[in-house]
Amino acid sequence: MGLPFLLQVVAVAIIAYIASGGYKFVYLVYRTAPRDLKALCRYYYFLYTAKKLSKKNWTVADVFKHKVVKNTPFKVLFVFEDKEWTALQIEEYSNKVANAMLEKGFKKGDVIGLLMENRPEFVGIWLGMSKVGIVTALINYNQRLVSLIHSIKVANCAGLIYGAELSSDIEDIKNDLDNDMKLFKWSSTPPPTNDDTYLNHILDKASPSTPNPPEKPGYNDKLLYIYTSGTTGFPKAAIITNVRYIFIAGAYAYQVGLKYSDRFYTPLPLYHTAAGIMCIGQSLLYGCTTVIRKKFSASGYFQDISKFNCTAGQYIGEMCRYILATPPKADDTNHKLRIIFGNGLKPQIWKEFVSRFNVPRVAEFYGSTEGNANIANTDNTFGAIGFVSRLIPSIYPISIIRVNPETCEPIRNAEGLCTRCNPGEPGVIVGKIIATNPSRQFLGYVNNEESAKKVVRDVFDKGDAAFLSGDLLVADEWGYLYFKDRTGDTFRWKGENVSTAEVEGVVSNIAGYRDCVVYGVEVPNSEGRAGMAAIVDKDNTLDVSTLSAGLQKALPNYARPLFIRKLNEVEMTGTYKLKKLDLQRDGYDITRVKDQLYFYNNKGIYQELTSETYSDILSGKIRL
């Protein structure tokens, strides 16, 4: 099916609807056809370039060598703490890694874990190992003990490379690792000359020449294992092949209009998809410059963007709220930024953030490391995370289907098939799985049982299958999509569905951009779950009276949190997502929770939750 044919179909449809008086459809075409056709052209052009790479059986490392290093060997590729790395330097460093691993006996298909803080060598190490077919498991360096052991073992790692700054964490788990696992320590400073356990010494002796492995990796071979963020339990290792890496980084770049001349800024962890593929991929595939920061700093974000003349900045999760909470300063608008891209910029602060920091364009995207239902905001529409064409939806087959918002179980019709949501109706986004199409594949996780849980079958036709995202989205009449919540987080109270994401945004704004998580808790003698908010209040300055007054104005009665918990901090993932599972388990149980608890009484005021009030709630004496 080519572009001319599709244009003919659209033209015929328009004529038919005009003839039958379908003026609403005509206006839909007027509003959305330019957007859809622009995206379609960009999508087809990317598919054309990807097809050429497929025919050559090129890996990410091949693209880097033949497209970037060959054409611009001395262009600065990475900037880190005022040190610059050219494309040629990364190529030679990665070659050393490849040759060193071959000499150590590793081969294509082996898995080596990489546990290291942000720095250019992180990229050089996994890129080098990929040249000989070694799969690198990018492990979250914030993990400790049980979770760290889990991440190493679930990927079946035969070796582990770790930063010297994390040595104590490895010592804590060494006895729990396989005896034959090879450990390599890497140091950012010159290591002791007599210690052969350091990778630095091995690389010093390795050849910078192109490696010659016994079996060369190809376009469809595994490249990386990237772990899910772990907001609901142990992280799962998602499979990233060379083609998937190219599609994630490349398709996004084409759709939102990233440029070769852009200078990117990322303070995000390189072990995750957002920075490791969507940002670093612009350097490895297209030769763009990326400024890497070791860790995110809210106060330093725009200072760095100004200092390094960055034109494209990356964000994720709660980062924008943290930046917005910093005191105003000159660097707020003294920059050359033309676009910020990422996911997690909440509508409640979107306009304020853009206005204060003079951000010309926001390219919010939606997607998951393992999923195929990935979309992007290509035209700067406020609050949108992307769109689906209402004129030619089959071109990019993702849909929003009706589900039980608490269980994520699809609601099926009489034929046993899923049903699509209407505009304005929340549902779960799914992506049709087509094994022969790289953009529609679902490769899943290393654990096949976990993979099976993310697939729904008999979606719109008997025998078809789709990736089930687990996220609630809603589409407007033009096809723009907006994030609502995660299924399981949404709860029902007073006969209404409550989006925790929306309530979190409102509570955080009223509370001065504090960290806040909202979740549903069970209450005896009541149907559904009542809302509870855990709010960070380190300095004990949160005024619950002001909070209750603000919530009365901003939220309907059923959406106002019935319980408030003050706490010193909320545990966060490496991608700045707040964890809530343990908090939800604690609930408002005054015998378990030692933090201050408050209850929203029938006068619309938060009062301290005492033992007496707690008992009255459990007994039903206080009716909710």
Q: Does domain 491-619 have CATH number 3.30.300.30?
A: yes
Q: Which is more confident, 365 or 228?
A: 365
Looking at residue 12, its pLDDT comes to 65
With a cut of 60, say whether residue 2 has pLDDT above it.
Answer: no
pLDDT of residue 488: 73
Task: Kindly tell me the burial class for residue 117, based on how many C-beta atoms sit within 10 Å of its own C-beta (0-12, 13-18, 19 or more).
Answer: middle
pLDDT tens readout for residues 396-419: 889 999 998 777 789 999 999 999
**Contact assessment for residue 369 and residue 238, using Cβ atoms and an 8 Å cutoff:** yes
Distance CA 182, CA 161 (A): 9
Residue 280: which of 302, 297, 293, 264 has the closest Cα? 264
- Residue 44, CA distances (Å) to 37, 48, 251, 479 in order: 10, 6, 10, 20
Mean pLDDT score across all residues of the chain: 92
Count the Cβ atoms, other than its own, within 10 Å of residue 451: 18
- Name every residue whose Cβ is closer than 8 Å to that of residue 98 and which is 6 or more positions away in sequence: 128, 129, 131, 132, 211, 213
Q: What is the pLDDT of residue 515?
A: 92
The stretch 293-315 carries a mean pLDDT of: 97
pLDDT tens digits, one per residue of 367-382: 988 999 999 999 999 9
Q: Which pLDDT score is estimated for 486?
A: 79
pLDDT surpasses 60 at 19: no
Q: Average pLDDT of 545-550?
A: 94
- pLDDT of the residue at 453: 85
What local confidence, expressed as pLDDT, does residue 228 receive?
A: 83
pLDDT at 233 over 90: no
Residues 586-593 have a mean pLDDT of: 94
The tokens of 272 are what? Answer: 């995750």
* pLDDT value for 232: 52
Q: Is 170 helix (H, G, I), strand (E, B) or coil?
A: helix
- Rounded CA-CA distance 270/564 in Å is 35
Greater confidence (616 vs 194) lies with 616
Identify which of 586, 598, 593 has the alpha carbon closest to the alpha carbon of residue 562: 598
What is the pLDDT at residue 9?
63
- How far is the C-alpha of 471 from the C-alpha of 426, rounded, in Å? 10
In sequence order, what E strands does 514-609 have? 516-522, 529-536, 563-567, 597-600, 606-608
**What whole-number percentage of the chain has pLDDT above 90?**
75
CATH class of residue range 386-484:
mainly beta
Q: Which of 417, 473, 85 is nearest to 284 (CA)?
A: 85
H or E segment and range at residue 568: none
- Say yes or no to pLDDT of 475 above 70: yes
pLDDT at 284: 99
Check pLDDT > 80 for residue 37: yes
Instruction: Give Cβ neighbours of residue 422 (< 8 Å, ≥ 6 apart).
Output: none
Q: What is the pLDDT of residue 426?
A: 93
- 495-504, pLDDT tens digit by residue? 787 888 889 9
Structural domain spans, the chain: 3-53, 57-295, 386-484, 491-619
Query: Domain 57-295 class?
Result: alpha beta
Of all residues in the chain, the percent with pLDDT exceeding 70 is: 96
Provide the pLDDT for residue 127. Answer: 99
| Cut 0.95: pTM above it | no
Interval 63-84: pLDDT, tens: 999 999 999 999 999 999 989 9
User: What is the pLDDT averaged over residues 130-156?
Assistant: 95
pLDDT of residue 20: 54
CA distance 215 to 234: 34
Q: Which residue has the tokens 């033309």?
A: 338
| CA 280 from centre of chain | 14
Q: Region 270-297: what's the mean pLDDT?
A: 97
DSSP annotation of 420: B
Q: pLDDT value at position 6?
A: 64
* Residue 21: pLDDT over 60: no
Q: What is the pLDDT of residue 447?
A: 86
Tell me: the pLDDT tens digits for 318-368?
899 999 999 999 889 999 999 999 998 999 999 999 999 999 999 999 998
pLDDT class for 449, splitting at 50, 70, 90?
A: confident
* Residue whose token pair is 């080098």: 128
The average pLDDT across 228-237 equals 70
Distance CA 483, CA 479 (A): 13
Average pLDDT estimate for 20-29: 74
Q: What is the pLDDT of residue 174?
A: 94
* Nearest by Cα to 195 from 206, 205, 184: 184
